[in-house]
Structures are given as C-alpha cells and as structure tokens.
C-alpha cells in the first residue's frame, strides 16, 4: 500500500464510523415514528431542519465567498512578507495558498452557522404559524405573539448575520492589508491614532461591509425597544419597562436607532465619495448619544424616580401585576373569605366524614420503602414511585396510593444478552391501597397485591404487564422463539409471549443489521430466536418516549399510573412555556414567565401507544403547535372517560402558581410596592432541617360545596410570620378541573400556622417524651407530612408518625397526631384522635379504623377498641404525664451539663413512667 492511498482509506473509515451509525439511527427512528403514527411530526421536523440549514448555508456561503473573492483580486503579487522570525528570516505567504483557503474556509464557517441555525427550526415554524394572544402590550401596542414567537427569530437572524458580517469584514480587511490597498501610517503628533490610507477598491468594499454592520447594529437597537418589556427594570420594584425605561432609555434608544441608520447610509455614501469625515462623525454621534442616554437615565432614576418611587412607578406596577397574573393564569383564581371565628363541633366532623375518611396518613417515601419490602417479591422488580389518585371502589369514592412493579434488569443475578433482551422484558402488576388504613402491625392495607395481582375491591385488572414505564429503558425483543418471563410462582416461573401491538417489526436481514448497528449488538443479527413476527421495543422509558416525539414541550417530572378498563396506563403532563411574556415576572427555573398545562399524554403500558391531548384549547402556544403539526394534538373530548376521571392538576405548575400568587395576590399598587401583605409557603422544621411545605393531594369538601372532590392544596403564611393567612386549592374533578381557589383568613384574626403547630407538638409534655424514648430505644421516628385539613371554616392539623426499628427497612405507622386550636393529642388512629378532641359521638359516624389481625393464617379485619375505651382515662394519667415531663426536663439539663450518669438515670425513670402510662391506657 502506498501513502497516496492513505487519505482515501481515512475518508472511508470516517464514513463507516460516523455516517453509517447516523444513517442507521435515522432510519430506525423513522420506523419508530411510523409505528406510533407520528410520521407527520418526523417529516415536518426534518423538512424544517433541512430548509433552515439549506437557507442559512446558502446565504452564508455566497456572502462570505463573494466578499473573499472580491478582496482576493487585490492580491496581485505572488508572495507577501508578513514579517521576520527571531533569526531575521522573512515570513513569506503564498497568494495561491490564501486563494486555496477561501473555499474551504467559507464552507466551514457556513456549515457551522447552518448547523447552529437548524437546531432552532421550531422558532422558525412558530414565527410562521403563530397564533395571536389577543393581548397587546401597553407601550408599543404589539400583540404578545410578537414577543413570544417573532422576536426570538429576529434575534437569531441578527446574531448570525452579525457574525457573518464581522468575519467577512475582518477577512477582507486582512487581504487588503496584505495587498497594500490598506496602509496605516503614523500621524504626525498623534502616535496612538495612525493615518489610514485606502485604495478606492478597498474603500468601496470595506465601506459597504461596514454599512451592513452598522445596519445590523441599528437593527439590534430597534430590538432593544421591545426588549425593555421582557427584562428586569433598573430597580426590583417591577419587571419590564419602568418609569426610567419609558421616559429615559426608550427615547434615547430611538435617537440611537436614527443615528445608527444614518451612520449606515453615510458608510454607503463614503464608499463612493472621497470624503473621509462622514463615517467618523456618524459613529461619534452614536457614541455620544449612547453615553448621554446612560447618563440621562441615571439622573432620572436618581433624582426623579427614587424620591417619589411609589408614585412614579405606580402605572408600571399595575402593568407588572396584570401581566404576571395573566401569564400564570392567576387572573382566574377565585378568592373567598373565611371568618376564622368558626369553632368545630362533633356535628361538623360528622358532616365532613368524606374529608376525614380520606386524610392521607401514608407519605410517599415511607410507603415506597414498605412497598419495596413487602411487594417487590423478587430482587429484579422495582417500585419506582408512588402515585396519588382516586377511584370509586365498591361504590365509594376513595383516595388511594399505587405503584407499578417494574422490571430492573440491572438487578438480575445473570445479566446475559438473552436474559436482558429476550427473557426479562417487562414488569408485572401493581400495589394499590387506601391512604388512611393500617394493619395491626403498622403496615398499609392493600387492595391490590401479590403476583398475579389479587384484588379485594371491584377494580378489574385484565392486563398487568408493563413494557413501558418510568424505569423501562434501552431495547427488548418480543414475539421471539424465546419465552418471556411473566412472573414467579413458587419455585417455578410463568412465561408468556407478547401479544400486543407495540414495537417495530424487526423484518429481514437488512433491518436486523441496522438495529444491530444502532444498538451496538451483533446478537440481533446472529441470534436464531427471531422470527418474521418479532418486534423490537425501544424508547420504552416514558419520559424519553414523549420527549422524542415532542421535544418542544416541557414535561412534568412525575408521570402517574392509572388503572382503566382493565389495563395499565401512564398519564404524563406537559407544559407550554415562554420567557418572553411582556411585563410578567419570572418564577421557577430557566427564567420562564409564561406557563400553561396545555397538553396531557396517555401512554399504554402494554402496547406503548402514545396519545397527545390538547387540554387548554385557548393557549396560543399550544394552538401554534397544533398549526405546525396538524392532528398531533387530539381534542380532550377524545380521551376515554375512564382515563379522564383520573386526570389531576399537576403539582409542578401548582407550586409555581402558588409562589407567584403569594406576591401577586396584591393588586393594589401601594400594597404591592410596600409588600405589606406578601405571603410565603410555610417553612417546616423537620428532622432533616427546615424546608418549605409541598403541595399535596387529598379528597375533601371545600367550603361552600356540597360534595367531596379530589383537590391539591397548599397553605400560606404572611412573609416572615408563622400564623396562617390563606390556603390555595386546585380542583381536579370533572368540569371543575383546573379551577383555582384561595380561601383567606381575616388579617386581624390569628390562626395557628403549620410551623407553630410543629413547635407545639415538639413541646407537648406527652408527645415529646414518647418520641424521645422511641429514638433512645434504638428505633427511628419518622415524622410524616403535616397535613392541613380544612373543615368548614376552620382547620385540623394531622401528622402521622412512623417508627422504623434499628437496622430495619420497613417503616410502621405508629401514631397519628391531631391538633385543633389549643388541643393536641397523639393516638393510634386518626379516629381515636378525633374522639379524644370532639367526643365519642363522632366515632359512630366515621368509618372504623380497620386493623388487620391473623386467625389461623387468614387475615381478618376487626374494628378498633370502642370509643368509650378510647376516651377512658385514669385519674392518675395526668399525674404520670407531669412526672414524665419532669424526668425529661432533668435529663435534658443533665445532657447540657455533660452529666451522662444522671442523664441515663433520668431516661430510665422516664421509660418506666411511660410504660405505666401505656398500661393505664390499655
């Protein structure tokens, strides 16, 4: 082999290493989009990328190459000396070499710009298919669609044109400098400002390029005008254009725009005129105007705005409030006052039995750990997450928590290609139980459990196989000659063959070869287990799956499982967002200041079918997407009712809306300016440190409503205060879906807030010593989520306590703390706590707390002790509680003093007293 053939081999190797895998990935993706029925999305995206790439590449290459070609004509000499080396030898550059670099240089630059531009294909399509918002900004009178859709494209075009012009100007100037058409001579008396002599050809060419550059700068100045509405103001009072922006910056920007436009025209004139003072005068005028504008804006801010800020900024505060409320749909929030004076009675508890019976006593993390220990059954199964939902079970509307049992092939004892790709292909079944029931050993009651799934309620599960889920990733092959593992049964395994429609047909040798290249698996070609019916499943992880189809949406981090019509489904929430809504204050990550939950996606866990539903048909961004990809977003009425009844308001958007409403519920500009009524999400001191409360789902009857419903709620406290100010809910059921309510307490009424309740729990003379004792005995007490339960116009607080033994992995629900006004009790069940506070009359109206016991190995449900027993208290109990508190305080004092002998003695006595108290209670 000669060296002459080496470049060809290198090129061939590069093609094999990069082009072939890319082609294989592209073609198999096309097959995948076809399988799902979204080939229109694939083709539309591809067409847009090609058109943007081709247009950018063509324009950039022609512009660069023509400018370089014009400048190249000035290189009349064959060689040029750029200087000398350290030893005095000249540095010589061949004209031919420079000419040979023009074409590849223009190609490389154009290719880079085109590749960058093609990644912004959606911005182009959105600008061309923009749906109007119907709202105009108050300063320039433009529809909001200009800021959201057109302005990003204008910025992109200007930035790329600016890069292209600067490169062309710099390269042309360099060639003219080499050729001697541009000469810099020292100016007499001014050493730092050389005299510039240009030949007529160089002057014309460079002046015209400079005119283009100045025109682009004028364009940038023009874009700065609307940008004042989508950036932060000089102060933190408002977001968007402030008084200084409107009356100082904007006028000077307009003057700058005129000056830069004149400078561009003067540059064109100078190209054909011997006068040299025109352009410097124009540029000097621009610098002068820009400097004067900055100085004037500072003077206005310092001497006009700051002394009278509340008055001068009032119109702009109103703009900020109105836009932010509109951008986050806070203008739809319905506010209702609460008296704050209503006292709860036993009759109120009985009237709200539907709320009480659905209080969530199981937190996600303890329940997930318990599910993992009790129901994973084999090491290769995983419960990834626990989801909140509601079902009508045995005729009763109930809140439940469920988790799907997914396959984790990383935990297989033998991780062979056959096991991971052909045999262990799917998860199986689920675990589902009520949020408020517990067995006698502190474990959750399960309505659906075991393998195959066994149900104790009227919930039909015909197909429990899970091929697509939160964990499912990479690829598997189904409908092969190798039987698939279905689920374990005793010492044996049950197998099956996939009978669904999911996956791409593997086909013949050519397709198998492409899949083998794509996944780097030669076994796909070599195996004899595939047939003409075999299919390959990939993009099985639902987050990856929906992002592959629609990367232009933002996705919620918590997809949730649904059982409907005997099958398992996933529902994934998707958001439309923007960072360019004028006057709207950003909240959350990435500077987003417009947010809608406009799309919901349903993924079949067995077949993999993926359907996008338009959930907010008035959202202009979603309507624009619908224009770009006709037929992709289905009307929400097409979603089956069995699935629609499980749609819930997403936690992420609710959290952002709550954060925004904490400030923007203030619509009075004076109150907004002083922030005197600003709220915040309560901060709770837990074992892991202080953290803001998180929204949570529950079933309850809202004040003024007649029936219970599935809602999400979050309380507010005044900023830097701990008493409760209001609570916010998002409704999820039926025609009320998406309606936001805020129930506000009177400002003059002090209502205990979550942090104050937690502090009182930690100081309670009965509860605190018991928690300390449990922790001292080697167990770990896990304090669950503090739940705020609105009843009529008052509040209950409920907090579950979990106990996990030292070295154990299964948390047990040990106690339930109930707080109402000045009363705090800790009992074994919620109902017993309510009886303790409101009297035994509530016991007969509430569903009994079911405790699971075993008789002869058969689980039997029995009622808890009677209400009379629950409220029967020995006269000595109060005295023992005081004695326990005394021992606890002496132990704490000894601990602070470092007297560990006394500390151990007092803790021992405390344990003895608590044991006596427990005997009396029993």
- DSSP per-residue codes, 204-234: HHHHHHHHHHHHHHHHHHHHHHHHTTSSB-S
Per-residue pLDDT, averaged over 176-189, amounts to 65
Q: How far apart are CA 79 and CA 594, in angstroms?
A: 60
DSSP state of 586: P
* Per-residue pLDDT tens digits for 677-691: 999 999 887 666 788
pLDDT single digits (tens) 703-718 = 888 889 999 999 999 9
Q: Does position 42 have pLDDT exceeding 90, yes or no?
A: yes
When mean pLDDT is compared over 722-736, 748-762, 800-814, the highest value belongs to: 722-736
CB 849 within 8 A of CB 832: yes
pLDDT-derived band at 487 (thresholds 50, 70, 90) equals: very high
pLDDT in tens, 84-134: 666 666 655 666 666 677 888 899 999 999 999 999 999 999 999 999 999
Q: Rounded to the nearest 5°, which phi and psi values hold at 236? A: -90, 10
Beta carbons of 573 and 650 less than 8 angstroms apart: yes
pLDDT (tens digit per residue) in 294-348: 899 899 989 999 899 999 999 999 999 999 999 999 999 999 998 877 788 888 8
As a whole number of angstroms, the distance between CA 568 and CA 563 comes to 5
SS3 860: strand
Given a cut of 70, is residue 855 above it in pLDDT? no
In this prediction, what percent of the chain has a pLDDT beyond 70? Answer: 86
pTM over 0.85, yes/no = yes
Q: What is the pLDDT of residue 866?
A: 40
* pLDDT band, very low/low/confident/very high, at 876 (cuts 50, 70, 90): low
pLDDT tens, position by position, 806-852: 767 788 898 999 999 889 999 988 988 999 898 887 776 666 554 33
Looking at residue 358, what DSSP letter applies? T
- What is the per-residue pLDDT across 691-700, written as a single tens digit (0 to 9) for each? 889 999 999 9
* Bigger pLDDT: 477 vs 589: 477
In this prediction, residue 144 has a pLDDT band, given cuts at 50, 70 and 90, of very high
pLDDT tens digits for 210-232?
A: 999 999 999 999 999 999 999 87
pLDDT at 472: 78
The predicted pLDDT at position 345 comes to 87
Backbone angles phi, psi at 464, to 5 degrees: -90, 5
Whether omega before 905 lies within 30 degrees of 0, making that bond cis, reads no
Give me 824's structure tokens. 């705090």
Task: Please classify residue 309 by burial: count the beta carbons closer than 10 Å to its beta carbon, then call 0-12 exposed, 13-18 middle and 19+ buried.
Answer: middle
Find the mean pLDDT for residues 76-83: 58
Which of 63-67, 401-405, 908-912 has the least mean pLDDT?
Answer: 908-912
Cα–Cα distance for residue pair 349/357, rounded to 1 Å: 10
The confidence score (pLDDT) of residue 277 equals 66
Q: pLDDT tens for residues 147-168? A: 999 999 999 999 999 999 999 9
pLDDT of res. 83: 57
Taking residues 65-91, report their average pLDDT: 70
pLDDT tens profile 247-284: 999 999 999 999 899 888 888 888 787 766 666 777 78
* Measured distance CA(562)–CA(647) in Å, rounded: 9
CA 842, CA 348: separation in Å to the nearest integer? 9
* Phi and psi, residue 744, nearest 5°: -115, 135
């Amino acid at each position: 082999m000669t060296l002459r053939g080496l470049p060809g081999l290198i090129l061939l190797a590069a093609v094999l290493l990069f082009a072939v895998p890319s082609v294989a990935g592209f073609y198999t993706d096309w097959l995948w989009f076809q399988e799902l029925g979204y080939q229109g999305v694939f083709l539309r995206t591809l067409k847009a990328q090609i058109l943007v790439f081709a247009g950018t590449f063509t324009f950039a290459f022609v512009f660069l190459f023509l400018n370089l070609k014009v400048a190249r004509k000035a290189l009349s000499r064959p060689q040029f000396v750029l200087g000398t080396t350290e030893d005095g030898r000249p540095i010589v550059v061949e004209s031919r070499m420079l000419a040979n670099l023009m074409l590849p240089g223009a190609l490389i630059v154009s290719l880079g710009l085109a590749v960058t531009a093609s990644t912004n294909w959606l911005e182009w399509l959105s600008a061309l298919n923009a749906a109007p918002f119907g709202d105009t900004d108050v300063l320039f009178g433009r529809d909001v669609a200009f800021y959201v859709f057109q302005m990003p494209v204008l910025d992109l075009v200007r930035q790329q044109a600016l890069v292209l012009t600067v490169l062309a100007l710099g390269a042309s100037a360099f060639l003219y400098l080499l050729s001697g058409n541009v000469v810099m001579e020292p100016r007499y008396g001014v050493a730092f400002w050389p005299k510039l002599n240009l030949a007529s050809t160089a002057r014309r060419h460079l002046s015209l390029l400079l005119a283009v550059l100045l025109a682009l700068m004028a364009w940038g100045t023009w874009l700065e005008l609307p940008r004042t509405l989508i950036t932060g103001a000089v102060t933190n009072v408002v977001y968007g254009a402030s008084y200084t922006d409107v009356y100082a910056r904007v006028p000077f920007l307009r003057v700058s725009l005129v000056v830069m436009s004149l400078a561009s025209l003067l540059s064109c004139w100078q190209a054909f005129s011997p006068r040299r003072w025109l352009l410097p005068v124009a540029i000097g005028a621009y610098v002068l105007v820009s400097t004067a504008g900055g100085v004037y804006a500072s003077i206005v801010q310092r001497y006009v705005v700051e002394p009278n800020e509340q008055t001068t900024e009032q119109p702009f505060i109103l703009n900020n409030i109105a836009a932010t409320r509109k951008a986050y749909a806070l203008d739809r929030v319905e506010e209702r006052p609460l008296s704050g004076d209503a006292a709860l009675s036993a009759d109120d508890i009985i009237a709200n039995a539907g709320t009480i019976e659905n209080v969530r006593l199981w937190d996600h993390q303890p329940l997930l750990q318990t599910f993992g220990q009790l129901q994973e059954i084999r090491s290769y199964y995983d419960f990834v997450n626990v989801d909140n939902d509601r079902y009508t079970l045995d005729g009763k509307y109930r809140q439940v928590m469920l988790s799907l049992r997914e396959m984790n092939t990383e935990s297989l004892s033998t991780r062979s290609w056959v096991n991971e790709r052909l045999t262990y292909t799917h998860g199986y079944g689920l675990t589902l139980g009520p949020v408020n029931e517990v067995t006698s050993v502190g474990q959750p009651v399960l309505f659906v459990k075991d393998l195959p799934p066994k149900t104790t309620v009227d919930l039909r599960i015909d197909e429990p196989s899970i091929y697509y889920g939160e964990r499912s990733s990479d690829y598997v092959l189904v409908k092969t000659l190798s039987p698939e593992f279905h689920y374990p049964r005793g010492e044996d395994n049950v197998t099956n063959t996939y009978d669904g429609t999911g996956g791409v047909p593997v086909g013949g040798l050519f397709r198998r070869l492409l899949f083998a290249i794509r996944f780097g698996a030669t076994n796909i070609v070599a195996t004899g287990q595939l047939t003409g019916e075999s299919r390959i499943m990939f993009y099985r992880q639902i987050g990856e799956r929906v992002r592959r189809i629609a990367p232009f949406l933002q996705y919620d981090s918590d997809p949730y499982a649904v059982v409907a019509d005997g099958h398992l489904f996933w529902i994934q929430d998707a958001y439309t967002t923007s960072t360019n809504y004028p006057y709207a204050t950003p909240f959350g990550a990435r500077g987003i200041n417009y947010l809608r939950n406009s799309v919901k996606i349903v993924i079949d866990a067995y077949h993999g079918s993926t359907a996008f539903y338009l959930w907010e048909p008035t959202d202009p961004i979603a309507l624009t997407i619908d224009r770009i990809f006709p037929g992709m977003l289905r009307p929400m009425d097409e979603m089956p009712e069995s699935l629609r009844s499980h749609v819930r308001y997403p936690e992420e958007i609710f959290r952002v809306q709550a954060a925004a409403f904490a400030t923007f519920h203030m619509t009075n500009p004076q109150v907004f300016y002083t922030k005197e009524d600003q709220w915040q999400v309560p901060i709770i001191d837990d074992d892991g440190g202080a953290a803001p409360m998180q929204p949570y789902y529950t079933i309850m009857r809202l004040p003024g409503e007649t029936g219970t419903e599935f809602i999400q709620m979050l309380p507010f406290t005044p900023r830097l205060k701990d008493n409760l100010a209001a609570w916010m809910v998002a409704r999820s059921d039926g025609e009320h879906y998406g309606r936001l309510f805020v129930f506000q307490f009177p400002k003059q009424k002090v209502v205990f807030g979550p942090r104050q309740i937690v502090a009182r729990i930690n100081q309670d003379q009965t509860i605190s010593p018991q928690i300390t004792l449990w922790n001292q005995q080697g167990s770990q007490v896990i304090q669950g989520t503090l739940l705020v339960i609105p009843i009529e116009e008052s509040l209950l607080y409920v907090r579950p306590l979990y106990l996990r033994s030292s070295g154990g992995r299964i948390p047990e629900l040990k106690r339930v703390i109930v707080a109402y006004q000045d009363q705090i009790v800790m009992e074994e069940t919620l109902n017993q706590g309510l009886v303790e506070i409101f009297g035994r009359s509530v016991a007969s109206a509430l569903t009994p707390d079911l405790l699971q016991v075993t008789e002869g190995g058969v689980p039997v449900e029995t009622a808890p002790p009677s209400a009379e027993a629950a409220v029967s208290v020995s006269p000595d109990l109060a005295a023992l509680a005081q004695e326990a508190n005394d021992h606890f305080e002496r132990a704490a004092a000894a601990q602070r003093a470092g007297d560990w002998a006394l500390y151990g003695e007092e803790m021992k006595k405390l344990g003895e007293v608590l044991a006596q108290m427990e005997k009396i209670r029993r």
